[in-house]
Structure 1
Amino acid sequence: MLVWLTDWQLAEDRLLISVGDSVDWTVFPSDREWIARLFEDRLMIEWQYDTYGDAAPGPSRNVVGTVTGLQSVRCRQQRSAAGFEPVRGAARLRSVTDTSGSWRRTAPLASGLPATVSRQKMYTFSYGSSEPEEDALYGYAATVTPRE
């Protein structure tokens, strides 16, 4: 099962998801228009893990399993009247071991170890830009192998 993880949500919620993690997620139908904007017809991701799930349209489902693969989704940006947006169809995938690319670790937690939120590691973050990025991080495609 391929699951979309949105970069800004991972950063805002301070989630560190790694290959090998056990997950118990409620997933929602992905925003197909957004995925098509990033990849055109090269890739379709059916589900998304959305921490604001009550705002996601469509029926949810629960998935309990293991993250067996993780790919960052990066794309060139262009400036528009709405701000920065991805260049249509220009997204690229790169295998990674975790989602730490969604933020820079700026301060250690009091214990010196990551805190746990819903069995996921949590770190502080900070990022921002005033110019379009050549290689902006938009999210991750996580392969989750459901438990039988």
Structure 2
Amino acid sequence: MRWNVWVDDWQMQCCGEPFQVGSAVSWTLIPADRDWLTRVLGEQTAATIEWSEEHHGDPSPDRLRVQAQVTRIAAVHARMEPLPGENAYHPVDGVLSPQTAADGQDPDAGDRKFVGYVVTLAVDR
């Protein structure tokens, strides 16, 4: 089966290992934050993402450890907007750019900041 997985830029930069199309990976997954993904990628694309890759946090019954093969990678670049009433920003209007490898160090693209990857995994279950 194939699963689309969100990989945060900061997770890759902190603790992730580079991967490429065809790589075998062993990842810990948690349920994707659909509300956040919808703001970044839109409802249609967010609806295809079931999981997020996770390196941090306490063990929980929601976590799933998988062995899989990477079949597709898309870098996501998004505009940053201020959060109302806060001194923080969040990504919106993300654009996906297919690529063959990921190391978490993708450069920003004009006024769009690199925020992560959508990765398709072929998972044996």
Among 37, 40, 43, which residue is 2:39 paired with? 37
Q: Structure 1 residue aligned with 2:56, among 30, 52, 56?
A: 52
Aligned mate of 1:85, from 74, 86, 90:
90
Shift of 1:54: 2.1
Which residue number corresponds to residue 118 of structure 1? none
Gaps of 5+ in 1: 105-126, 128-132
Partner residue, 2:123 = 146
Find the counterpart in structure 1 of residue 30 from structure 2.
28
- Which residue of 2 is the match for residue 73 of structure 1? 76
Report if the CA contact (8 A) 1:28-1:53 is conserved. Answer: no
Q: C-alpha distance in 2, partners of 1:33/1:70?
A: 21
Percent identical residues: 27
1:67-100 deviation per Cα after TM superposition (whole angstroms, max 9, x unaligned): 010001111112343322213xx11111011223
Q: Which residue of 2 aligns with 1:97?
A: 100
Contact 2:70–2:120 (Cα < 8 Å) also in 1: yes
Per-residue CA distance 1:110-138 (angstroms, 9 max, x = gap): xxxxxxxxxxxxxxxxx9xxxxx711111
Q: Larger % of strand: which?
A: 2
Q: Which amino acid aligns with 1:50?
A: E
State the distance in 1 between where 2:17 and 2:40 align: 23
RMSD of equivalent CA atoms: 2.4
Larger C-alpha radius of gyration, 1 or 2?
1
Q: Which segments of 5 or more consecutive residues in structure 2 lack a partner in the other structure? A: none
Give SS of 1:46's match: strand
